[in-house]
Chain A
Amino acid sequence: MRRTLDTGNAAITEGAIIAGCRLFAGYPITPATEIAENMSRRLPQVGGYYVQAEDEMTALHICIGGSLGGLKTMTATSGPGFILYADPMGWALGSEIPLVVVNAQRVGPVSGITGAPGQGEFYMSRYPTQGGNYETIVLAPNSVQEAFSITVEAFYLAERFRMPVIILADQLVTDGWESLSIPETPEEVEAMGLKVIPRRINEGPEFYPATDEIDIPPVVLGHNTDAACSDWTPTPEGYDTEEVDFQHKHAYRLIYKVRNHKDLITRYESYFVDDNPDLILVAYGSPSRVVISAVKQAREKGLKVGALRLISLWPFPDEIFKVPAKYLSVELNYDGQLVREVQRAMPKGSEVHFFGKCGELPTVAELEEMMQALLAGKEIKARNWEWEAW
C-alpha cells in the first residue's frame, strides 16, 4: 500500500489505472485538467494511450471507439464540457458501451466560476442525452480516498452493466488535497473491497438481447464476431430497424438492466437515523462533509437530527428514505435539484426543506442555525435567494 498526500484528480487517475483503463481522451478544463495531465504521464508508463481531443464531444467519441476496440476507456471534464457529451453519451448508452465519464462539477450556469464547486448537473447526469428510454448509473465521491475507490467501482459496474458510468464529483473533491492510500497488489485491491474484471468479448450472434440480464459481454470489433452496432434501434443481431417492436425491447433492456439490479449499485451512509430523528439532512459530494460534522455536533448538543449521505445518485435510492421526518436537502446550487427527488421519495408524514449554497460550502454554523429553526417549527423566511421552504 502506498500512502501519499494528493488530489482527487490524482486519486481518480490511479483508480482508473488499477481498474485497467488504457485509453484516456480528454480536453483541458478546470477543475478536471489534472486528470488529463496525470493520465498523460501515467498511462504511457503502463502501456496506455492519452489522446488530447479537439473538443469534449470528440473526447467521448474516441473513448467509445477505444472501448469498441476492446480497451477500457475514460474521459473527464466539468459542466461546460459535460454538455458536449450529450451526443456521444446517447450513442454509448444505446449501443451499451462500457466506459467511465468524470464530471468535476463547478458552479454555473455556462462557464460560471472555474475554481468554485457546484452541484448543477444532478439532473443532467440522469438525463445526459436526448430520447429517453434509458437509466444512468451515477456515483458521487466526497473525499480523495473515495474518489479513488469509486473510480475502480465505476469501471467494474461499466463492464457488468455494459454502459457508461458517470462519476459526479465536484471541484472541492477533485482539486482538494487529502491523504490517499493506493493499493499496489491485487490482494491489496481486494482487501479494500474493490473488484476488477477484464473486458470480455461478445461472440454473437445476439449482440443486443431483449433481456434485463447483466454480465453480458459488450460488442468488441476486430475479433471476427461479425458484430454490428449503431446509433439506430437494433435488432438482437445489431441490424438497424424501424420496427417499433424492437424499439420496445431495446428500451426495456436499457431501463430494466439497471432498475432490476439496483441493489448492486445503491450505496449510501446514514448517521443517527435509527432513533426516528425529527430532522434528517440529505447531501452528496463535498457539502456532505459539512453536513456530517454539523449533525454530529448537533447530536452532542442534544438535537435529534440525522443525516443521509448519498454515494450513488442514480438510480435514485428512494428506498433509503424510510423514516417520516423533516428532511433538509443541502446542495451547492440555489435552484434546488436533489431536493426534488427527496420530495418525491420521502415517506408519508414528512416535510422537505432546502438549503442551497452557490459556489461555496455551507458552514457548520449556518447548518446549525437552520436545524434549530426547523426543529423549533419556525417558518423559514426566504432570505433573498439563500433559504427557501419547499
Chain B
Amino acid sequence: MDYLATKYLRPRKIPSTACSGCGLGQAHKKVVKAIDELGLGIGDVIWGTGIGCAGRQTFNTWKGDNFAGTHGRAYAIATGLRMALAPDKKIIMTVGDGDAFGIGFLHLLNCARRNVGMTVIVLDNLGYQSTGGQYGWTTPRGYRTDSSPYGMREPNWTQEGRDVLNILREAGATFLARYTSLQGQEAVEAIKKAIMNNGFSLVHMPYPCVTNFAERALGTRKPVEIYKWFGEHTCSMHEKGPDDFAFRTGIYHDASNSRPEFSEYMKTWVAEIQRRYS
C-alpha cells in the first residue's frame, strides 16, 4: 500500500469502495500528503466528513479521531467542536459539493463569517453522484444528468459571473483556493496553506466521476474521456478558459491569520469577562 496510507489511514477502509476510475482517491491523497508534508501527526487532526461519495468514502479513514455529520451539517458540528478542542488540534473536513454548496451552504457561510478554525476540502464530483447522478450546484450548464435529461438549466454557483469562492470571501473566509484532483503539487501546497491558516479555509477540488457524471454528460464511462474533458476545461484563475465552462484554478484569497479565529477570540473574551467580574 501507499506509504501515506500505511502511515495515516486505516487498513479496514483503504482501499475504499469508490468506483473504478473515480478521482476521489487522487483528491484524498493530496489532503493526506499535505498533512504529511506539514509534519502533522495522527493526534493533531480531527477528520470530519459529510454524506455522499466524499463523505462515505473518506469517513473514518483517518487513523485518529473521526466524525461524520448528517448531510450539510458537519460545519455546524465543527463550530461547536472547535469551541471545545485544544487550539493546536486541526479540524480537516472532506465533504461533497452538495453537502457544502447546497444543503449545508448556510452553515458554511456562517463558519466563514465567524472565521471558525477548520479546513474544508470540497471534493466536487459535479452533482449528486452517490444517488445515481442528479445535477447539483456546480454541474456545468447544459450538461445532461439523471435529473436534467434535457441538459442542466438552473443557474449554478460557478458560471455566468458567479463564483462560490467570491461569496465565501465576502462572507469572511480567510483562505480560499480551487484546484482539480488532476493537478499536482500546486494543489498540495494550497491545502498546506489552508491547514496552516488559523481560521476558516476552503479548497474547492473538482474531481472526475466516471460512473455517473461522465456516462450522462459525455456519453461514456471510459475514464480517459472524463480525464481528458477535465484537462480541457481546466485553466488558471487569471485566464478566461474555454467558452462553455472552465475550472478556474489557483489561490483565490489568502488572508491567512489576518482575522481572529472564532474560538480563540471567544476564549480570550471570556477570560476578560471573568477577570472583570471575579
Contacts of A240 in B (CB 8 A): 56, 59-60, 68
Contacts of A229 in B (CB 8 A): 66-68
Whether the Cβ atoms of A63 and B110 lie closer than 8 Å is no
Contacts of B84 in A (CB 8 A): 23, 65-71, 222
Contacts of A231 in B (CB 8 A): 51, 68-70
Whether the Cβ atoms of A64 and B60 lie closer than 8 Å is no
Contacts of A46 in B (CB 8 A): 274
Assess A221 versus B85: contact at CB under 8 Å? Given A25-B80, A45-B273.
yes
- How many chain B residues touch the partner (CB < 8 A)? 41
Answer yes or no: A55 CB below 8 A from chain B CBs.
Answer: yes
Contacts of B65 in A (CB 8 A): 221-222, 224-228
Contacts of B78 in A (CB 8 A): 65
Answer yes or no: B3 CB below 8 A from chain A CBs.
Answer: no
Over the window 208-225 of chain B, the binary record of Cβ atoms lying under 8 Å from chain A Cβ atoms (1 yes, 0 no) is: 000000000000000000
Contacts of B80 in A (CB 8 A): 23, 25, 51, 61-69, 71, 73
The residue from A44, A69, A226, A230 contacting B83, defined by CB atoms under 8 A apart: A69
Tell me the nearest residue of chain B to A227, going by C-beta: B65
Whether the Cβ atoms of B274 and A47 lie closer than 8 Å is yes
Contacts of A53 in B (CB 8 A): 76
Whether the Cβ atoms of A49 and B270 lie closer than 8 Å is yes
Answer yes or no: A91 CB below 8 A from chain B CBs.
Answer: yes
Per the bound structure, the CA–CA distance linking A106 and B78 in Å amounts to 31
Contacts of A51 in B (CB 8 A): 79-80, 83, 266
Which of B51, B65, B79 has most A Cβ within 10 Å? B65
Contacts of A44 in B (CB 8 A): 269-270, 273-274
Whether the Cβ atoms of B43 and A232 lie closer than 8 Å is no
Answer yes or no: B122 CB below 8 A from chain A CBs.
Answer: no
Answer yes or no: A268 CB below 8 A from chain B CBs.
Answer: no
Per the bound structure, the CA–CA distance linking A307 and B107 in Å amounts to 47
Answer yes or no: B13 CB below 8 A from chain A CBs.
Answer: yes
Contacts of A66 in B (CB 8 A): 80-81, 83-84
Answer yes or no: B106 CB below 8 A from chain A CBs.
Answer: yes
Whether the Cβ atoms of B73 and A61 lie closer than 8 Å is yes
Over the window 206-247 of chain A, the binary record of Cβ atoms lying under 8 Å from chain B Cβ atoms (1 yes, 0 no) is: 000000000000000110111111111000001110000000
Tell me the nearest residue of chain A to B262, going by C-beta: A51
Over the window 31-74 of chain B, the binary record of Cβ atoms lying under 8 Å from chain A Cβ atoms (1 yes, 0 no) is: 00000000000110010010100001001100111111110010
Minimum CB–CB distance from B270 to chain A (whole Å) comes to 5
Answer yes or no: A58 CB below 8 A from chain B CBs.
Answer: yes
Assess A49 versus B266: contact at CB under 8 Å? Given A23-B84, A222-B86, A239-B13.
yes
Dominant secondary structure of chain A at its interface with chain B: mixed
Which of B49, B63, B66 has most A Cβ within 10 Å? B66
Per the bound structure, the CA–CA distance linking A57 and B70 in Å amounts to 11
Answer yes or no: B89 CB below 8 A from chain A CBs.
Answer: yes
Answer yes or no: A319 CB below 8 A from chain B CBs.
Answer: no
Minimum CB–CB distance from B76 to chain A (whole Å) comes to 3
Minimum CB–CB distance from B238 to chain A (whole Å) comes to 34
Contacts of A225 in B (CB 8 A): 65
Contacts of A71 in B (CB 8 A): 80, 83-84
Whether the Cβ atoms of B77 and A239 lie closer than 8 Å is no
Taking CB atoms and an 8 Å cut-off, the chain B residues in 133-189 that contact chain A are none
Answer yes or no: B12 CB below 8 A from chain A CBs.
Answer: yes
Answer yes or no: A87 CB below 8 A from chain B CBs.
Answer: yes
Per the bound structure, the CA–CA distance linking A87 and B50 in Å amounts to 14
Whether the Cβ atoms of B73 and A57 lie closer than 8 Å is yes
The residue from B49, B64, B83 contacting A224, defined by CB atoms under 8 A apart: B64
Whether the Cβ atoms of A65 and B76 lie closer than 8 Å is yes
Contacts of B73 in A (CB 8 A): 57, 61, 87-88, 91
Minimum CB–CB distance from A60 to chain B (whole Å) comes to 9
Tell me the nearest residue of chain B to A66, going by C-beta: B80
Whether the Cβ atoms of A69 and B81 lie closer than 8 Å is yes
Answer yes or no: B82 CB below 8 A from chain A CBs.
Answer: yes
Over the window 112-133 of chain B, the binary record of Cβ atoms lying under 8 Å from chain A Cβ atoms (1 yes, 0 no) is: 0000000000000000000000
Per the bound structure, the CA–CA distance linking A224 and B46 in Å amounts to 10
Contacts of B83 in A (CB 8 A): 23, 49, 51, 62, 65-66, 69, 71
Whether the Cβ atoms of A58 and B107 lie closer than 8 Å is yes
The residue from B42, B66, B68, B70 contacting A227, defined by CB atoms under 8 A apart: B66
Taking CB atoms and an 8 Å cut-off, the chain A residues in 261-305 that contact chain B are none
Contacts of B76 in A (CB 8 A): 53, 57-58, 61-62, 65, 88
Contacts of A347 in B (CB 8 A): none
Known: A69-B81, A231-B69. 10 other contacts (CB 8 A): A25-B80, A44-B274, A65-B79, A65-B82, A68-B67, A68-B81, A73-B80, A88-B73, A226-B64, A228-B66
17 contacts between A and B (CB under 8 A): A25-B80, A48-B270, A58-B106, A61-B80, A65-B77, A91-B69, A222-B89, A224-B43, A226-B64, A227-B65, A228-B59, A230-B49, A230-B67, A231-B69, A232-B59, A239-B60, A240-B60
